């Protein structure tokens, strides 16, 4: 159960870092890497929703 809370906490911290990086850019190499990581993860979530839309609707 502690691992689940750790995963949730790390997810919140990750998205918080991405959002703060948009407002206050980090140093040169980190700024691009943080934005790339956030965009990649967001793109994967969108692709997942497009691919499994039928399954997600069937659950409700």
Q: Dump pLDDT digits (tens) for 26-58.
A: 999 999 999 999 999 999 999 999 999 888 777
pLDDT given for residue 57 in this prediction: 79
For range 10-23, the mean pLDDT: 96
* pTM for this model (two decimals): 0.77
- Taking residues 10-16, report their average pLDDT: 96
- Tell me which of 56 and 4 has the higher pLDDT: 4
Contact in structure between 51 and 57 (CB atoms under 8 Å): no
- Asked if residue 31 lies in contact with residue 25, where contact means CB atoms within 8 angstroms, the answer is yes
Tokens for 43, please give them.
């793109």
Q: What is the DSSP letter of 25?
A: -
31/27 Cα distance (integer angstroms)? 6
């Amino acid at each position: 159960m502690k691992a689940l809370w750790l995963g949730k906490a790390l997810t919140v911290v990750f998205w918080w870092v991405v959002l703060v990086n948009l407002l206050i850019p980090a140093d040169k190499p980190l700024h691009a890497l943080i934005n790339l990581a956030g965009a990649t993860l967001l793109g994967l979530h969108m692709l997942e929703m497009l691919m499994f839309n039928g399954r997600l609707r069937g659950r409700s």
